[in-house]
Each structure stands twice: as structure tokens, then as C-alpha cells.
């Protein structure tokens, strides 16, 4: 008993059961302290206890009933506690027993379509709400510490992203397609909720990228939501974050040009939020091809030369491999059949086919309107050197929606049809094989878990 008390006292003194942000710099081995498990976004666990030999003996240990909407969250696991979310709600439960430790509920207005999870910094958790607030909770008891407004819910902004802790900041991105609005990424001070820096995913007039918009008005309402958690390379001090579709979503007639930096992968300086390079998977998007899918960081040889790589299987049906130091494109290959692009340009960016843009009488496009993939995270297994992605094929009718005054009326009009779901695996090349399932994680035990 005495020994137990002593151990306990030491543990409290060391980290107060919290998470030292410096611990995130090493790939964790026995915790899952961020949305993607580590900064690389590869969602690979080094644990060996569950492996190819014993995976078929797994049985249910416990089940926890949330009595909530669909869970689209990845739990954090720190010191034996799971922290996970639904819109408005956070739970802390014992990972061994499934017993609830605390539950936080904050009913709000705004879009409740999804919530990906919390971020942890020391003994605090960070949680985005449907009314676009960032909330800071005590990890031990779920009690509110502060609550700040990130964006105006009346314009349809909401937060679904799991924030990312980088050094002494909490990176948070915005969601919302309901009205035509400009989106951004912010670094927030974890102590007091104050903004450290802000990167606008659509430029202001005169700034670099503004030449890809027709006018100030279209830029001021240009979209580019930042609704999925990015990745971070501490050695380069770069944050990699994907941006979503421009606004209006499907109607491109009022925003001629590439519409930077929507549907892009942006590399930002972690201390200043300044753009270092970008790559645009879908220039002038008119199909809702968010490029927010996890930019996975891999160190591997490419054509015999060791390189720092970034891989994204993008919603538009293409797999992109980039040099993450410079943004140079190394590979662009489709991972599902798709016909919205007429080819690939010199920079490795697909060229949108004008005929496949939404039309008044409907254009018929091969690709599911939900995308070839979406928010379900991919995984990279350093043992097999394979990139695993949940993918789907389909066809969609896209309509351009104008009102009687020839103005863009609805933000979206599409009739989707889905024909089956397949998972494809890729070895940084175009050699896909089919496999059934959804949302992979890889493990050192040589298994792929869904």
C-alpha cells in the first residue's frame, strides 16, 4: 500500500497524468496522443501484441454506448484513458474497462455533421464545436477552462476538425459550405485561447495567389475550408494542411481561375503560419474535390534516392507524391477510374475538363460525388511500404444552378450514384489491387485494421 502511494505521488509530480508536448516529437509506442497517432499521419502502430498469428482470436472486451449521433472520431489514448467526441460532446473513458470517467456536453446551434476528436496539451484538451468555438477542458475532470469564438456560426462556420498541438500552439481549421465564406487556419495559444497566427486559405487582393481570382468579391467569399487534421515535420518546422473546395461549391462561373489556395496542400511555417510552398490537386474545382485528406509524411527512397516525401490520396481520385521540402511533384496517378480531368499539367496538377464542369442540363462524371475517398484516414505501413486508402467508385450528374437572373443560386446540385466500395493499395505507383473494407490502420503485427 505504501509502495503504491509512493508510485502515485511520483506519477503526479512527473506529468500530472497529462501529455508533455515534447513527447509528440518522438513517434509514440504505447499511446495514441494525436488524431493520427503521430505527426507523420501514417496511422501505424508499432505494437506487436496483436499480430497476424493471433488476430483471429480477438473478441469483444467491452462496449460503450454513447447514445449520440454517429461517431466520426479517433480516440486519443493517453495514460490508459480514451478521449473521444461527437458534435457537442466529449467523453473520457477507461481504456481497459470501457467505464466512463467524465462526459462533457455543450448543446449548440450550427452544423452537427461530424466531430473528429480532441487535441491534448499537458493536462488540457481542445475541442471544436458546431457553433465554431474552440473549447479548452481539463483532462482530469472535463471541466471548462476557456471557450473562444473562432468564426461566426451565422455564416455557417463550424468546427469538426481534431485540433493539432504543435509546440506551444493548438492548430485549428474551419468547416462550412452553407454560405459562401472565406476559410482559414489558426494557431491558438493553449494557455489563454489567443490567436498566435492566422493563415487565410484564400488570399486578399494584391497578395500572392490573388491573380487566380477574378475580383475582390469572389476572393472574399472563396471557401477553402481546413476541416481535416494536418501533419507536421519537426525537422523542417513545416505544418502540412489540406484545404477544401472553393465557394460557391459547384458553380465556377463567377470565379474563373485556379482559385488558390483552395483544394490545395499547403506547407506552412509552424511559428509564423507563412506559406512556404503549395501544391493544388484540383485547380478551379467545380466538383467539391476537397484536398483535405491526410498529407502522409514518409521518409523513403524514390528512384534510388532517399527523400522526404508527402503522399496524399485525394478526394478527386488521384494519388499525389510530393517532395515535402520543396513541394515538387514526383508522381500523379489516378487510383480510381475518373474522367473529370483531361490530363496532368507540367506541375503534376490535373487539368479540369471544361465539358465535365456542372452544366445547366447536367454533366455526367465518372467519380462518386462524395469523392474517390473522403475523411476516412489512409495509412502507410513502413514494413510493407504500402499506402492503404479507403476508396469508392461511382458516377454523378452535376448541374449548374442559376436563378431567373442568371445568378448562382444553390451552392450544390448533384445527383450521385454509388457503385460499390473498394480499398486499393498502392506502392507509390499505379499498381492497385482490390480489397474490401473501410478506414485502415496498420500495425507492426502485420495486420490492417478497420
Partner 1 sequence: MAMPIRVVFPALLALLSCIRVVAQDATERGQAQFARTCGFCHGPDANGGAEGTNLMRSALVRHDENGDLIGAVIREGRPAKGMPAVPLNSSQIADVVAFLHKRLDESDRRSPRKPDYALKLLLTGDAAAGKASFFGPGGCSKCHSPTGDLARIVKKYAPPDLQARFRYPSGVAKTAIVTTSSGERFSGNLFYADSFRIAIKDAAGWYHSWPRSQVKAEVHDPLTAHRELLRKYTEAEMHNMFAYLETLK
Q: Which residues bind partner 1 (CB under 8 A)?
A: 152, 154-156, 177-180, 221, 355, 360-364, 366, 395, 397, 399, 401, 403, 405, 407, 409-415, 417, 419, 436
CB of 111 to partner 1, least distance (A): 10
Query: Which residue lies nearer to partner 1 by CB, 247 or 324?
Result: 247
CB of 218 to partner 1, least distance (A): 12
Point out which residues pair with 428 in neighbouring strands. Answer: none
Query: Which residue lies nearer to partner 1 by CB, 190 or 223?
Result: 223
CB of 338 to partner 1, least distance (A): 12
Query: Which residue lies nearer to partner 1 by CB, 210 or 412?
Result: 412
User: Per the residue annotation, which of 285, 288, 381, 401 is the catalytic one?
Assistant: 288
Query: Which residue lies nearer to partner 1 by CB, 413 or 447?
Result: 413
CB of 402 to partner 1, least distance (A): 9
CB 325 within 8 A of CB 279: no
Measured distance CA(169)–CA(51) in Å, rounded: 36
Query: Which residue lies nearer to partner 1 by CB, 42 or 183?
Result: 183
Is 288 a residue of the active site?
yes
For residue 366, with 0-12 CB atoms within 10 Å meaning exposed, 13-18 middle and 19 or more buried, which class applies? middle
- Phi then psi for residue 3, to 5 deg, are -60, -40
What is the SS3 assignment for 223? strand
Q: What is the DSSP letter of 207?
A: S
CB of 229 to partner 1, least distance (A): 25
Per the structure block, which three cell numbers stand in for 30?
A: 504505447
Measured distance CA(439)–CA(437) in Å, rounded: 7
* Count helices and strands in the chain by DSSP H and E runs: 2, 30
Point out which residues pair with 104 in neighbouring strands. Answer: 90
- Phi then psi for residue 371, to 5 deg, are 100, 160
Residues annotated catalytic, as ranges = 288
Amino acid at each position: 500500500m505504501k509502495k503504491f502511494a509512493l508510485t502515485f505521488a511520483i506519477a503526479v509530480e512527473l506529468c500530472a497524468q497529462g501529455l508533455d508536448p515534447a513527447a509528440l516529437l518522438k513517434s509514440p509506442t504505447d499511446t495514441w496522443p494525436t488524431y493520427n497517432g503521430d505527426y507523420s499521419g501514417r496511422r501505424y502502430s508499432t505494437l506487436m501484441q496483436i499480430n497476424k498469428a493471433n488476430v483471429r482470436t480477438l473478441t469483444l472486451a467491452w462496449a460503450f454506448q454513447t447514445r449520440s449521433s454517429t461517431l466520426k472520431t479517433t480516440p486519443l489514448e493517453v495514460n490508459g484513458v480514451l478521449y473521444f467526441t461527437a458534435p457537442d460532446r466529449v467523453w473520457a473513458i477507461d481504456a481497459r474497462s470501457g467505464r466512463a470517467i467524465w462526459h462533457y456536453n455543450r448543446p449548440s446551434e450550427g452544423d452537427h455533421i461530424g466531430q473528429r476528436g480532441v487535441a491534448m496539451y499537458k493536462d488540457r484538451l481542445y475541442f471544436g464545436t458546431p457553433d465554431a468555438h474552440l473549447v479548452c477542458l481539463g483532462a482530469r475532470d472535463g471541466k471548462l477552462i476557456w471557450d473562444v469564438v473562432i468564426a461566426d456560426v451565422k455564416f455557417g462556420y463550424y468546427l469538426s476538425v481534431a485540433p493539432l498541438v504543435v509546440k506551444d500552439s493548438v492548430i485549428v481549421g474551419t468547416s462550412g459550405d452553407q454560405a459562401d465564406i472565406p476559410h482559414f487556419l489558426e494557431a491558438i495559444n493553449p494557455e489563454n485561447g489567443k490567436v498566435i497566427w492566422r493563415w487565410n486559405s484564400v488570399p486578399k487582393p494584391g497578395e500572392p495567389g490573388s491573380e487566380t481570382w477574378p475580383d475582390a468579391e469572389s476572393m472574399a467569399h472563396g471557401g477553402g475550408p481546413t476541416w481535416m487534421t494536418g501533419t507536421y515535420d519537426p525537422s523542417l518546422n513545416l505544418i502540412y494542411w489540406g484545404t477544401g473546395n472553393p465557394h460557391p461549391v459547384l458553380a465556377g462561373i463567377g470565379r474563373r481561375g485556379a482559385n488558390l489556395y483552395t483544394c490545395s496542400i499547403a506547407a506552412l511555417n509552424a511559428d509564423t503560419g507563412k506559406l512556404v510552398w503549395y501544391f493544388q490537386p484540383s485547380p478551379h474545382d467545380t466538383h467539391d474535390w476537397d484536398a483535405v485528406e491526410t498529407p502522409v509524411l514518409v521518409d523513403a527512397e524514390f528512384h534510388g534516392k532517399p527523400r522526404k516525401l508527402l503522399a496524399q490520396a485525394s478526394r478527386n481520385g488521384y494519388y499525389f507524391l510530393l517532395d515535402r521540402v520543396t513541394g515538387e511533384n514526383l508522381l500523379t496517378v489516378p487510383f480510381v477510374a475518373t474522367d473529370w480531368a483531361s490530363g496532368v499539367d507540367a506541375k503534376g496538377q490535373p487539368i479540369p475538363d471544361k465539358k465535365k464542369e456542372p452544366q445547366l442540363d447536367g454533366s455526367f462524371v465518372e467519380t462518386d460525388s462524395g469523392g474517390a475517398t473522403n475523411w476516412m484516414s489512409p495509412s502507410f505501413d513502413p514494413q510493407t511500404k504500402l499506402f492503404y486508402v479507403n476508396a469508392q467508385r461511382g458516377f454523378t450528374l452535376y448541374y449548374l444552378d442559376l436563378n431567373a437572373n442568371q445568378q448562382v443560386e444553390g451552392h450544390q446540385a448533384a445527383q450521385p450514384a454509388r457503385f460499390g466500395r473498394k480499398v486499393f493499395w498502392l506502392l507509390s505507383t499505379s499498381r492497385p489491387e482490390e480489397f474490401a473494407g473501410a478506414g485502415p490502420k496498420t500495425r507492426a503485427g502485420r495486420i490492417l485494421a478497420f
